């Protein structure tokens, strides 16, 4: 069977995660961006934006509060007014920058409470400052000590399709030295689905188990290739996450589905312990769930196969309807 790119002409937003010694970057990749080294370009843009922000800001740009008020200040969020004014918000639910910042505050509160990290800001060396900008190419989040720069794709933001909750999840639940990409990205996708006010990237409002079932039905070989590394620390996860588009799509859907299965079945507390584990990850499944890793994966696969089926035609039709609703002229 000839391989078909599932999103076809509608393919819009593909996520991957880059890790370096200086920052974590969550990259949004557009298929129609005809350039090489997209991840390097994204990093360069983020660094350039960070430098611009440093030049425009005073060394201490926190609000001038009394000593008592400063004690309660745990983070700040801002979008420069000229950045907001550069966007065409005709198709967005946000009509003022204040509405947008309030939504970000809600995501921070709701997500941090759910993942049991209400003191998430203590991960940073000082009061975290989240600074949001819009770009015409890729989206990326970078962390420089306590300064967090979120660059959102401008067009996606204008059409209410920017993965804001997904990015906030990465800010609150930072990757560790013992990270596993599938747990990182699966959790962020799950949290966007649970708390976000717009469709989750890659699943686009469709249940993750249903999409995983579709991949298995049509592309069993590719499904099994990615399935084998989900929930592990296998470095092939990075290859699938950053590499060829088709496997990347499967990687994000399966990561989302696995996190959804674990959290909905066993609860968020044990999932967070698994995510933050520093010992053998495979052994940690038995410690937390009383079942071997293979048993957990088998149960998850059974949940996928018992989910409703969806055809490729139904999938494409759903995407057409979704993007038409958001006035995204994907065919132009």
Higher pLDDT, 242 or 58: 242
Mind listing the pLDDT tens digit for each residue in 44-91? 555 555 555 444 444 444 444 444 444 467 899 999 999 999 999 999
Q: Any idea what the Cα angle at residue 95 is, between residues 90 and 96, rounded to 5°?
A: 140
Mind listing the pLDDT tens digit for each residue in 138-170? 677 788 888 899 989 899 999 999 999 999 999
Name, in order, each residue with C-beta under 8 angstroms of 215's C-beta and a sequence gap of 6 or more. Answer: 222, 223, 250, 253, 254
Q: What is the dihedral of CA 248, 50, 62, 196, to 10 degrees?
A: -20
Mind listing the pLDDT tens digit for each residue in 12-26? 333 332 222 223 433
pTM reported for the whole predicted model: 0.80
Mean of the pLDDT values across residues 120-144? 86
């Amino acid at each position: 069977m000839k391989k078909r790119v599932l999103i076809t002409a509608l393919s819009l937003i593909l996520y991957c995660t880059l890790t370096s010694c200086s920052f974590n970057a969550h990259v949004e990749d557009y298929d129609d961006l005809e350039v090489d080294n997209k991840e390097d370009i994204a990093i360069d843009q983020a660094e350039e934006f960070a430098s611009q922000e440093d030049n425009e800001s005073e060394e201490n740009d926190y609000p001038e509060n009394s000593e008592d008020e400063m004690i309660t200040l745990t983070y700040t969020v801002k979008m420069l007014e000229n950045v907001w004014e550069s966007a065409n918000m005709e198709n967005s639910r946000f009509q003022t920058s204040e509405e947008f910042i309030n939504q970000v505050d809600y995501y921070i509160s709701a997500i941090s409470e759910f993942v049991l990290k209400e003191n998430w800001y203590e991960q940073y060396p000082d009061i975290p400052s989240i600074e949001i900008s819009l770009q015409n190419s890729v989206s990326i989040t970078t962390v420089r000590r306590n300064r967090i720069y979120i660059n959102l794709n401008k067009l996606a933001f204008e059409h209410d399709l920017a993965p804001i909750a997904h990015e906030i999840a990465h800010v609150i639940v930072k990757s560790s030295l013992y990270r596993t990409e599938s747990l990182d990205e699966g959790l962020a996708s799950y949290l966007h689905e649970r708390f976000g006010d717009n469709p989750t990237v890659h699943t686009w409002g469709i249940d993750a188990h249903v999409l995983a079932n579709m991949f298995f039905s049509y592309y069993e070989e590719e499904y099994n290739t990615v399935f084998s590394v989900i929930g592990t620390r296998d470095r092939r996860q990075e290859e699938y996450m950053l590499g060829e588009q088709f496997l990347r799509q499967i990687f994000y859907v399966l990561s989302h589905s696995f996190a959804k299965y674990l959290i909905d079945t066993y609860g968020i507390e044990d999932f967070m312990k698994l995510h933050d584990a520093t010992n053998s990850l495979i052994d940690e499944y038995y410690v937390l769930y009383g079942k071997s890793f293979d048993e957990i994966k088998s149960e998850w696969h059974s949940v996928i196969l018992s989910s409703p089926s969806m055809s490729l035609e139904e999938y494409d039709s759903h995407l057409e309807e979704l993007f038409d609703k958001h006035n995204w002229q994907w065919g132009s």
